[in-house]
Structure 1
Amino acid sequence: MDELLNQVYHEIIYNLLIHPPNQALNVLKNHAQVVDDDFLQVLRETVITLGERNCQEDSDFLNKLVQKVEESGGFSTLLAQVAPPKPAETQAQKVAPQQQKTATPKIVSPEKQSAAENLYNQGTQQFQANQYTAAFQSWQQALQLYRELQDRRGEVNCLGKLGNVYQSLGQYQQALTCHQQALTIARKIKYRQAEANALSSLGNVCYSIGQYDQAIEGYKQALSISKTIEYRVGEANTLGNLGNVYYVLGKLEEAIKNYQQALTIAQELNYRFGAVNFLNNLGNVYASLEQYEQAIAYVDQALTLARTLNYRFGEAYFLSNIGKIYQAKAEPEQAKVYFEQYLELVRSIQSPQMEANALQHLANTYKIMGEPESAITHYQQSLEVHRQTQNPQGEAITLSILGQIYQQLRQTDTAIQALQDCLKIATPKALPTECLAAGSHLGDLGLSTYNWQLALEGYEQAIQAIEHICTGISPIEIRSEIAKESSEIYAKQVQACITLKQYEKALEFVERWRCQRRVELTDSSLFPSSGEVQSLLKKYERLQQQLHALHLRRQSDEMKQLTTAGVRLNSSVTFKTESEILDTLETEKQKVWEDIRRLDEIVAEQLQVNGLSLEEIKALIPDETTAILSFYSTAENTYIFIVRKTEIFLHICEGEGIETLQDWIEKSWVENQKNHLREWRNKMIEFLSELSRRLQFNQLISDCLENCNELIIIPHLKLHHIPFAALPIQLEDQTVYLCDRFKIRTISSCQMLKYNQHQNQTIDSNSIAILEDTTGELVLTRYECQKIDKIYQVSQEFYLSGETATVSQFESLIKQVQIFYMGSPLRFTSENPLEAELQFNDGTISIAQMLAWHLSELLEIVIPSLKLENQPLDFYELNMRVFNRFLERGTQRLIYSLWSLEDIATSLLIWFYYQNLQQKSCTEALRQAQIQLRNLTGQELEKVYKPEILAYLKQQQETKNQQKINDQRTLLAWKCQQDYPFESPYYWANFIIYGC
C-alpha cells in the first residue's frame, strides 16, 4: 500500500461513516481513482479496530461494505452500478493522477493472484495484532507469488510492507534494503508515485536511526517527484516529514517553514487529517520557542478541526497537548482543566492506555500545584490501569514517580517499595532511562536514611543504565546529557562504598567513572578507517542505532505511536515483542564488541565501559617502590586512593569537596593564571603550600608511602592543572618539594596504564627528530634544538629547520622516530582541542591529522609551547580528548607545559632533561632537570650559559624579533645578578610527564 495515502484513505472512511448508508457508493465513486485493493485492506483493518473499540455499529456497516465489494469482484465492478458523478475533479482525485497509474499486468493465474492477495491481507492483519514474525512470513510468501506473476506493483507493495515491519522491529539495515529494492523497481517501471513513496520510506528509516542528513536528502527527492506529478498529498506529507527532522535538529525556523507549507497544501486539498497534524506540529515548535500563546492557538485549531472530523483520538491528544503547554507556561490550574477534559474523553471512547496517560498528566499537575495527596490518588489510578492493560513501561514510570513523591513526604518504606518494584520492570537494558531515574532516587533514599546497602543497590542499577545508554558511538547530545547526571551518581556510589569501608569497591567505581568519561569524550571519527575492525565497528554502530531507536520509540507519547503505527498503541504484546528484540540485539551487539576487543582492545574500550578490578590495577604497578595516587572529589570530601603492589590505602581529606577544594583551585589557580598573571605568579608558592596542607601530603607520605620513590598521579578535575612536583612537603624537618622525594608522572586513569607499560629504548641519531620553531615567535628555540642536536648527533634529515620545514617532512619523520621534540608552538584556536595545529611554511597539521597516522614507533613527544587563543585550556579535557589518543596509539609519554614560560628557563630545562635522558629514565631525567634548574646560581648562569646564549642571540638577524632579542639580553643580565634566578616553581615546575 502507498503509505502516504493512508491518511487520505481514513478521510474517505470518515466520509462513509458520516453520510447515510445509501450514499456509500457515491462517496466511493467520487474517489474512484483512490479506492483500490490497498484501500480495501485499510477498510478491513478499520473494521477490526472499530470492533475492538466497541464501535460495533460503524464496524458492522463497514464490514457489510467490504463483503459487498468482495462479492462483486472488486471496486470497479461495484462502482459501475452507480451513475457517473459530475465531471469536476475532486481534490482527493489529485492525490493519484490517472496518468501516473501503471498498467496492471495480465494475470496468468487467477488462483495464484488470489493467493498472493490473501497472503498480503493476512500479513496486514497479523501486523495489526503485533504478530511480527507471522506478518513477515505472510508478506514474504506474497512477495514470492507476485514475482512469479511478474506483478511488479504487488512486488513493490510487499517490499514496502517488509521494510515497514523491519523498521518496526528495529532492524533498520534490512528496512533500508527493502525500501531501496522497492525504489529500484518503481524507477524501472516508471511508477513515479511509488518512487516518491519509497524515497519517503527511506527517509523515515534514516530519521529513526538519527541519520538526519540522509533523511533530509530522501525527503527532498520525494518532494521533487511529488511536485512534478502533482501528487499533492505526498507533497504535504513530505514537507511535514522535513519539518519533523528540522524540529529534532533544533532548526525551528526551518521546521515552521515546512509545516506551514504542508498546512497550506492540506488546506487547499481539504486534506483535513493532514492539516490537523501540521497544526499540532506548529504548536509544538512554538512551545519549544516558549511562544506559548501562539502554540496554544495552533493546537486549539487542531483541536477544533479534530472535533469537526469526529477524530476522537486526535481530539484527546490535542487536549493533552494544550494542557502540557499550560504546564510549561506555569499555569497548572489551566492545564488541569484540559487534562480533565482529556480524561473524560478517553474514558468515553474506552481507551484504557490513553486513560492511564490522562491520569498521569493530572497527577503531574497536582504534584506541581503542591497537592501531593491528589497526585498520589491519580498516580495510583494510573498505575491500576497500566496493570490492567499489562503496560509494563507505564507501570514502571508511574511506580518511579510514586516513589519520588513518597520520598518527599518522608514515607520512606513506601517509597523504597515503589522504587524497588519499578526496578524489577525497568532493568538497565529493557528501560534504561526509567532505570536511571528510579535507581538514582533509590540510592538517594539509602543515603538520606543511612541505609548504605540500599544506596549501593540503587546507584549500581543507575550506573549500569548510564553505561548502557552512553556508548562511544552514541549521539553526542545523549552523551552530553548523560554526563550531567553521571558524575554525581558515581560520586554518591563511591561515598556509600567508603562509608561501608569497601575501599576496593570504591576505587573500582572511581575507575568505572573515569572509563565512562573516556567513552563520553570519544570522537568516533578517530576510529580505524579500514580493515576488519572498521567492518565490525559499522556492524556495532548499526546495532546500537537500532537499540537507540527502539528505546526512543518506547519513550514516545501516544500521538507519536498513532502516527508511526496507524491505530496501534503500546500494549503488553508490543512491549514483550520489543523486549525480545532488544535482548536479541543486545546479545548480538555484545558478541560484536567481543570480536572488536579481540582485534583491538583500545577501540573496544572506547565503545563501552570496561572497568578494572583492584587486582588488575595492582598488576599494572611495575614494582614495590611505585605507588598510584588516585584523587577523587565528592560533594563533601576529597579521597586519595593509594595503591601499592600488594595493598590499598585510603586517605580522606575531610571537608575538601567539590565546592571547597575544586572550586577554590578553579578560582585561585586557573582563573588567576588567566586574568591576573602577576598575582598568580607571586602567590604560587603560597597557593601550592595551602594545597599541600589541604591534601595532607605530609601525613599521606608518612602513613602510606614509605619505601616508595615513584608516584603515578591520577588527578581529578582541576587537579589536572596542578604541578604536583612543586607541592611543598616536610622531609627530615626541612621544607622541600615533592619532586625532591619522588619521581612523578601523570595519567588520566588506571585503564590508560595498560597501554603504556615501560619499554626499553636506546636513543641514537636515528631515533630522535627535532622540529625548530616554524613561526619565528620563540627567540631561543633554535638554541635549545642545537643543544639537543649536539648531545645526540641527530641525523641531518631528522632535523627540521624552522624556515624550511614542510608538512610532508614532518609527517615522514614522526612516523619513523621514537622521540620527537616539537620546538614549534601547538596552537589552540577553537573549542575543539583536536583542531589544535602546528604551522609550517606550506600549510598546517592538526592533532586530528596526526592521530590518523600510523605512529607505531613513537614513544615520546615533547611539546614545550601550547599557545591558547580566545579561550582557556582545560587540561583535564586536553588529557582525555587529545593526549589519551596518542597513548592509545602506542606513544609512551607526552611531556608538555602547564603554562607558558620565558625562553631562557625553557631552553635550560629542556637541555638538562635531554642530557639526563642519556642515562636515566624519563621521570628521573625530568626530576633531576627540575632540581638542576632550581639550584642553578646566577654566577653559574653568567659563567657557563650567558656567553653561548649571547653569541646565539648575536647571530639572529630577524628584524621582526629584534625587540624580543633585546628583551632576552636584558632578562639574561638581570638573572645573572640573582643568587638563584630560577628557584621559584614558576620556572621549573611547568613541565609534566603524561604517560609512563
Structure 2
Amino acid sequence: KPLHFQAMQELLDEETAILEWYILPDKFLTFTLTAQSFNLWTSSQEDRQNLIDWGNAYLRDYRNRDNSQWRETLAQRLEELAKILHLDEILHNLRQNFPNCQKLILIPHRYLHLFPLHALPVTTEEGKTYLQDLFPKGVGYAPNCQVLQQAQNRQRPHFNRLFAIQNPTQDLRFTDMEVEAIQSLFNPHKVLKHDQAEKAALDAETLKNAHCTHFSCHGYFNFEDALKSALILAKSEFTPPPPTDDPSRYLPLEDDKLLDLQKCLTLEDILRLDLTSCRLVTLSACETGITDITSTSDEYIGLPSGFIFAGSPNVVSTLWAVADISTAIFMIQFYQTLQQQPELSVVLALRQTQTWLREATVQDLLDWVDSCEVISPERRKQMQKGLTFSYWKNKLDAKRFESPYFWAAFCAIGA
C-alpha cells in the first residue's frame, strides 16, 4: 500500500535523510526528505537530456564485449554524472537545512538504479571526496519507501548461522577461497560447493533458519522478463539442442550454450523463499544489482528487492561484473568487519570495507593476506601471487584497487 507523507517521515530519525529522484518526460526531480522537512529540486529540460545521453553512453560502453573504455573512464564518468545531477547544490541545501545529517538513504528511479550513486565525487571545503564519505553512518539504498518500512521493521540480532552457494559453475578463480574463509567465521554453516550447488539441493528449512545467506556465483538479469532474472546454479548450462521441447525454459549464452532457467534460482523462485531469520543476503556475483529500467513505475524489480520481499532486511549486491580477486578480498574483509564489530550496520561495514580496499597499497594487501587467519596457507600463496603478478610486482606502494571499478559496484540495500 502507498505510504502517506507523514508515514514516510516516520521512517527517519533525527540523523537520517532520504534523497529520492523521479524522472519525468521533460525534467527530473530530486526530493530531500528529513523527519522535519521536505525540499524539492527541479532540473531543466537540458539537464534531463544530458542525463539521458550520459546514461546511454555509459550502458553502450558497458555492454561492449570489450568494455575496457568503460572501466578506464568510470571515475571521469561519475564526475560528469554528479554535475548533471547538481549533487553539490543538493548537498549544500541538505547541510544548510539539516546540519546534523549522519546517514543518507538513496531511492533512485528507473535507470539511476544502475549507477553507483554512493560513489559520486563531491566537492567540500577540504577538497574532493565521495558522497558516502560525507555521512558517518553510511549511505544505503532502498527500492522505495514501502520496502524501506518493511526492512526497518525486521529486527535480526543473530548472525552466526550461514548458508552459502560456492562457485557452482567452477569458473571463478578466487571464489572458493572467498567462501572457505567466510564460512570459518560462522558456526554452524552449510555450504553447497561446485556441483552440489544445484537447485534441487536448496533446502527451504536451511534457508529459513540462516542468519546470513551468501551466493558466490554468476547472476543474470532478463530485461525482457524481470521475473526470469536469476542466480546461475550448478548443472544449469546445456549444449544445444535442449533436452526438452519447451523453448521458454532456455536462454542463449555468449558461448553458444543454453541456460536452463528451471535449474537456476530465478526472481520468481526468490519471491517464494522464507528468510524470516535472515539478517543479510550477500550476492557476491556479477550484475546482481541490475534492475528493470524499462518500467516507468517507481517500483523496483530486481534480485535484491526479491530477497527483501522474501524476508531479509539487508541485501548487498553488485552493479557490474566485478573483478574476482578484489571481490574475494573485499568480501572476506567485509565479513570480518561485521563479526568483529557486531554493533555496526551493514551499510557502515560496507563503507568501511570500500574505504579500506581503495586506500590499501599492494604491500598493505600482502600484509593483510599474510596475517589473515581465516585464509589457509595454501590459499594465501595463491592470493599473494595474484596480487603481485606482472606490472604490480614492482609497484608495492601503488593502490591497486583505488579505481571505483573495484569497490563502487557493491551496494547496501534495505534497512
Aligned residues: CA RMSD:
3.0
Where does residue 654 of structure 1 map in the other structure? 44
- The 3 A distance-change label for structure 1 pair 834 and 617 is same
SS at match of 2:334: helix
Matched, 1:732 2:119: no
What is the aligned counterpart of 2:232 among 838, 845, 855?
A: 838
Task: Tell me by how many angstroms 1:729 deviates.
Answer: 0.9
Task: Tell me by how many angstroms 1:933 deviates.
Answer: 0.4
In 1, distance between residues paired with 2:338 and 2:268? 29
- The 3 A distance-change label for structure 1 pair 881 and 784 is closer
Between Structure 1 and Structure 2, how many residues are aligned?
371
Assess if the C-alpha contact under 8 Å between 2:360 and 2:399 holds in 1. yes
SS at match of 1:755: helix
- The 3 A distance-change label for structure 1 pair 862 and 754 is same
- The 3 A distance-change label for structure 1 pair 905 and 619 is same
In 2, distance between residues paired with 1:637 and 1:829? 28
What is the aligned counterpart of 2:68 among 653, 678, 682?
A: 678
Which residues of structure 1 form unaligned runs of 5+?
A: 1-604, 606-610, 957-964
SS at match of 1:994: strand
Matched, 1:776 2:170: yes
Task: Tell me by how many angstroms 1:950 deviates.
Answer: 8.2
In 2, distance between residues paired with 1:617 and 1:952? 48
SS at match of 1:765: coil
SS at match of 1:852: coil
Q: Counterpart of 2:337 in structure 1: which amino acid? A: N
Task: Tell me by how many angstroms 1:955 deviates.
Answer: 7.7
Where does residue 745 of structure 1 map in the other structure? 140
What is the aligned counterpart of 1:807 among 199, 207, 228?
A: 199
- The 3 A distance-change label for structure 1 pair 950 and 682 is farther
- The 3 A distance-change label for structure 1 pair 913 and 904 is same
SS at match of 2:9: helix
In 2, distance between residues paired with 1:713 and 1:860? 19
SS at match of 1:686: helix
Where does residue 713 of structure 1 map in the other structure? 106
- CA deviation map 1:476-519 (0-9, x unaligned): xxxxxxxxxxxxxxxxxxxxxxxxxxxxxxxxxxxxxxxxxxxx
Q: Counterpart of 1:799 in structure 2: which amino acid? A: V
- The 3 A distance-change label for structure 1 pair 636 and 846 is closer
- The 3 A distance-change label for structure 1 pair 966 and 635 is same
SS at match of 2:307: helix
- The 3 A distance-change label for structure 1 pair 760 and 841 is same
Task: Tell me by how many angstroms 1:975 deviates.
Answer: 8.8
TM-score (norm. length: structure 1): 0.35
Where does residue 379 of structure 2 map in the other structure? 952
SS at match of 2:35: coil
Where does residue 100 of structure 1 map in the other structure? none
Task: Tell me by how many angstroms 1:627 deviates.
Answer: 0.5
In 1, distance between residues paired with 2:410 and 2:46? 26
In 2, distance between residues paired with 1:975 and 1:614? 57
Matched, 1:761 2:159: no
Task: Tell me by how many angstroms 1:660 deviates.
Answer: 2.7
Assess if the C-alpha contact under 8 Å between 1:975 and 1:981 holds in 2. no
In 2, distance between residues paired with 1:859 and 1:942? 31
Where does residue 148 of structure 1 map in the other structure? none
Assess if the C-alpha contact under 8 Å between 2:273 and 2:310 holds in 1. no
Where does residue 885 of structure 1 map in the other structure? 306
- The 3 A distance-change label for structure 1 pair 640 and 838 is same
What is the aligned counterpart of 2:53 among 660, 664, 669?
A: 664
SS at match of 1:778: coil
- Percent identity for Structure 1 against Structure 2: 24
Task: Tell me by how many angstroms 1:634 deviates.
Answer: 2.6
- CA deviation map 1:492-549 (0-9, x unaligned): xxxxxxxxxxxxxxxxxxxxxxxxxxxxxxxxxxxxxxxxxxxxxxxxxxxxxxxxxx
| Structural mapping, 1:153-168, within 5 Å | none
In 2, distance between residues paired with 1:619 and 1:679? 44
- The 3 A distance-change label for structure 1 pair 882 and 712 is same
- The 3 A distance-change label for structure 1 pair 727 and 828 is closer
Assess if the C-alpha contact under 8 Å between 1:673 and 1:680 holds in 2. yes
Assess if the C-alpha contact under 8 Å between 1:942 and 1:976 holds in 2. no
What is the aligned counterpart of 1:620 among 11, 15, 34?
A: 11
Where does residue 256 of structure 2 map in the other structure? none
Q: Counterpart of 2:180 in structure 1: which amino acid? A: Q
- CA deviation map 1:40-96 (0-9, x unaligned): xxxxxxxxxxxxxxxxxxxxxxxxxxxxxxxxxxxxxxxxxxxxxxxxxxxxxxxxx
- The 3 A distance-change label for structure 1 pair 867 and 949 is farther
SS at match of 2:282: strand
- The 3 A distance-change label for structure 1 pair 618 and 983 is same
- The 3 A distance-change label for structure 1 pair 637 and 928 is same
Q: Counterpart of 2:130 in structure 1: which amino acid? A: Y
What is the aligned counterpart of 1:983 among 402, 407, 415?
A: 402
Task: Tell me by how many angstroms 1:803 deviates.
Answer: 4.1
Assess if the C-alpha contact under 8 Å between 2:322 and 2:406 holds in 1. yes
In 2, distance between residues paired with 1:908 and 1:763? 24
Where does residue 847 of structure 1 map in the other structure? 267
SS at match of 1:791: coil
Matched, 1:820 2:209: no
In 2, distance between residues paired with 1:934 and 1:681? 15
In 2, distance between residues paired with 1:841 and 1:921? 36
- The 3 A distance-change label for structure 1 pair 762 and 694 is same
TM-score (norm. length: structure 2): 0.80
Task: Tell me by how many angstroms 1:989 deviates.
Answer: 0.4
In 2, distance between residues paired with 1:832 and 1:851? 15
SS at match of 1:831: coil
Q: Counterpart of 1:751 in structure 2: which amino acid? A: Q
| Structural mapping, 1:19-168, within 5 Å | none
Assess if the C-alpha contact under 8 Å between 1:769 and 1:814 holds in 2. yes
Task: Tell me by how many angstroms 1:867 deviates.
Answer: 6.2
In 1, distance between residues paired with 2:291 and 2:197? 30
Q: Counterpart of 1:667 in structure 2: which amino acid? A: N
Where does residue 84 of structure 2 map in the other structure? 694
SS at match of 2:171: coil
In 1, distance between residues paired with 2:354 and 2:167? 23
In 2, distance between residues paired with 1:914 and 1:821? 11
In 2, distance between residues paired with 1:913 and 1:949? 18
- The 3 A distance-change label for structure 1 pair 653 and 888 is same
- CA deviation map 1:855-880 (0-9, x unaligned): 32233211121369xxx965546942
- The 3 A distance-change label for structure 1 pair 976 and 820 is farther
Q: Counterpart of 1:618 in structure 2: which amino acid? A: Q
Task: Tell me by how many angstroms 1:759 deviates.
Answer: 3.6
In 2, distance between residues paired with 1:881 and 1:806? 21
Bigger radius of gyration among the two: 1
In 2, distance between residues paired with 1:860 and 1:850? 14
| Structural mapping, 1:521-532, within 5 Å | none
| Structural mapping, 1:322-333, within 5 Å | none
In 1, distance between residues paired with 2:234 and 2:47? 45
Assess if the C-alpha contact under 8 Å between 2:271 and 2:309 holds in 1. no
- The 3 A distance-change label for structure 1 pair 704 and 655 is same
In 1, distance between residues paired with 2:87 and 2:62? 24
Assess if the C-alpha contact under 8 Å between 1:773 and 1:781 holds in 2. yes
Assess if the C-alpha contact under 8 Å between 1:804 and 1:841 holds in 2. no
Which residues of structure 2 form unaligned runs of 5+?
A: 237-262
- The 3 A distance-change label for structure 1 pair 667 and 775 is same
Assess if the C-alpha contact under 8 Å between 2:362 and 2:399 holds in 1. yes
SS at match of 1:983: coil
- The 3 A distance-change label for structure 1 pair 823 and 975 is farther
- CA deviation map 1:229-273 (0-9, x unaligned): xxxxxxxxxxxxxxxxxxxxxxxxxxxxxxxxxxxxxxxxxxxxx
In 1, distance between residues paired with 2:59 and 2:394? 27
Q: Counterpart of 1:850 in structure 2: which amino acid? A: I
Where does residue 943 of structure 1 map in the other structure? 367
Assess if the C-alpha contact under 8 Å between 1:930 and 1:988 holds in 2. yes
Task: Tell me by how many angstroms 1:733 deviates.
Answer: 2.7
Task: Tell me by how many angstroms 1:850 deviates.
Answer: 3.1
- The 3 A distance-change label for structure 1 pair 968 and 912 is closer
Task: Tell me by how many angstroms 1:929 deviates.
Answer: 0.6
